[in-house]
Amino acid sequence: MCGRYVSATPPDQLARYFGAELMVEPPEEGDDKQAANYNVAPTQGVYTVYEAEGIRRLDTFHWGLVPFWAKDPKIGSKMINARAETIHEKNSYKRPFAKKRCIIPADGFYEWKKVEGQKRKQPMYLTTIDGSPFAFAGLWEVWEDQNSLDDAGEPLELYSVTIITGEPNDKVAPVHDRMPVMLPPDTWDAWLDRNNHDLNALQGFLVPAPAELIRLHPVSTKVNNVGNNGPSLIEDAGPVTDE
């Protein structure tokens, strides 16, 4: 699964990288650290690239997909990841897979590795070799809160996302048995196109990223606490011990 990741690149830079219209406030001039989050967790707002009215956009969505039919948005906390193998058949995911696909940018992500002889797992940080953002494959949905109305008397809307996970590559397999699906740039147009209904071809994108594109190193167990944040979380910390 993917339950924690890093989002440190400013949104205006992400918008340029993904060729998207920026829908959030850009950082103030000289403030490169605005909105940097080194410990992104479920139920938080996360940057999302999606298509609306034929325009590619970057906005902030709720992490934890809330199906349109849900009675309570809290269900989203159980839907932070969607398995690539079954998104075409699960009630929660087959509708957004057909027409609401997205990309969740990430500078890197964390996984926890079992260490022989140690009770505590070793947190690992995984990122790209060249420093470019990952493009996690995702799905998005809109949920209407019928009990809360806006100034126009319309139900308030919650935009939410889930990250698609699949089989690990050879680099990730020793750490975890799942990994986020990472989309290469030549698939972005087809993946985001809401008029593209070739689900078999889209399913073909959901494969492990090449192992040679990823590097990883151990990091401090401070990342285990979602209240901890900052660039020190991704520094190489050496192996964990039970001492």
Which of the residues are catalytic?
2, 111
Task: HSE, CB side, 13 Å, CA atoms: give it for residue 46.
Answer: 35
For residue 33, CA distances in Å to 15, 69, 71, 224 come to: 16, 38, 37, 22
Note the residue count of the chain: 243
In three-state secondary structure terms, 32 is coil
Strands (E) in 133-198, as ranges, are: 134-149, 155-166, 179-180
For residue 46, CA distances in Å to 71, 154, 164 come to: 23, 25, 15
Token representation of residue 39: 């410990």
In three-state secondary structure terms, 13 is helix
Beta strands 21-22; 55-63: pairing state? parallel
Token representation of residue 126: 């995984």
Q: Is the CB of residue 12 less than 8 Å from the CB of residue 25?
A: no
